[in-house]
Amino acid sequence: MSTGTGADSAPVHHSDTHTRRGGTFSSLSIRNYRLFFTGAIVSNTGTWMARITQDWLVLSLTGSAAAVGVTTALQFLPMLLFGLYGGVIADRYPKRRLLLFSQAALGLCGLALAVLTLSGQVQVWHVYLIAFLLGMVTVVDNPARQTFVSEMVGPDRLRNAVSLNSANFQTARLVGPAVAGVLIAGVGSGWAFLLNGLSFLAPLVSLLLMRTGELHKVERAPRGKGQLREGLRYVAGRPDLIWPIVLVGFIGTFGFNFPIWLTAFSDGVFHVGAGTYGFLNTLMAAGSLAGALAAARRGSTRLRMLVVAAGVFGALEIAAALSPAFWLFALLLVPIGMIGLTVNITANSAVQMATDPAMRGRVMSLYMMVFAGGTPIGAPLLGWVTDAYGARVGFATGGVISLLAAVVVGLVLARIGGLRVALGWGRGHPRVRFVPRTAPERLTTAA
């Protein structure tokens, strides 16, 4: 649980014995999690191949960045509409069983798109439809997968496992775009979609091989009325939950529209092909992987880190948008990936560790609904801005909104926790800290 509601203190998870002993990869000492991790890296690689291929296919079929935004929006629209119901299902039913269903369904969607593309029959509405179906499956898959981690590793290693999951995803992001670029240029998009569909065999096998007796027992919510309202009331009464969720909502909606911006910069600003587009995604993934591994080593989670990282993330996006040269734009994607992943992991682990286990599915579904479900709003809007005013304005808009959200949420959390912002200089660089308000300082401020 949280140790306070201030921006500097809530929620905090201090280094435990297991984390100190095992270090960065301590969760991999658990057999069930090792199986989960191995299966996930295969399917994640396929997923990233399909994402890059899907975006390039839509751009090839339509020539429009807004159409890429529509595809992204349709994939995340179900999370916005039905995300909370997914959390109720995750709290009510065995998560391993839910994941067997959802992973199989995701694989079938990938195979369907492969058949359409390889047969030469694919049209943009096919891509839209399958993107929406993928989103429907994700409504259940996301909260089940997020909360299943605690059943595999227990509370002591939860933060470490969340960070390793992100490292897993970003490792796949290093490989997937590069492979997708080669396949698109060499044999066509359909083969990338086919490999993605087949990649889901790996997590299905890993789930079937798990020893269910070694899973940590988690209380499941019984059937009952008002469980959605109960989850919303729970979050509304917890400032240490609601404000991180608000912040990641703004960043997820407006700051994470990279499929739109990278395709637009590749095609319209720097005039490079699919291979270089894949390379830009790989650079961002390299930074994200570094951020995930750094997070796995940290033994505590503080909202101060979340707020500062969100502000830096917005500032870096503005800098990238204004970059005059391709090499500078490409280099800035590395720290953008690193800081963006830090924001995601810090918020995710903070919210999970501050939530009662019986409520975790509903809280994490709200988290994912806000983080990913805002994409149907942000993606078409920023896609339109990008088409109408250019890629630089579109990218900068996302950065400005992310930066402003970090400043506002930071000030709100500081006020709730009885803190103030202190600007200073230390170790050769500027520092932003939240420190307790004292009576003399309050009088000086009033004066």
Q: Using one digit for the tens of pLDDT, what is the confidence trace for 373-389? A: 677 788 888 888 988 89
CB 113 within 8 A of CB 122: yes
Neighbours of 184 (CB within 10 A): 24
Tell me if 274 sits within 8 A of 181, measured CB to CB.
yes
Cα(107)–Cα(200) distance, rounded to whole angstroms? 5
The position carrying tokens 């994912």 is 368
Query: Cα angle at 317 between 245 and 406, to 5 degrees?
Result: 30
List the Cα angle 274/275/279 in 5-degree steps. 115
pLDDT under 50: residue ranges of the chain: 1-21, 439-447
pLDDT at 131: 93
Residue 98's contacts (CB-CB under 8 Å, 6 or more residues apart) are 89, 90, 140, 141, 144
List Cα–Cα distances, 250 to 8, 240, 360, in angstroms: 21, 17, 22
pLDDT of residue 31: 93
How many alpha carbons fall within 13 Å on the CB side of residue 370? 22
* Alpha carbons 20 and 301: distance in angstroms, whole number: 15
Report yes or no on whether pTM surpasses 0.95: no
For 257-299, give the DSSP string: -HHHHHHHIIIIIS---HHHHHHHHHHHHHHHHHHHHHHHH--
Computed on alpha carbons and rounded to an integer, the radius of gyration of the chain in Å comes to 21
d(CA 351, CA 147) in angstroms, rounded, equals 11
Two tokens, residue 264: 């637009």
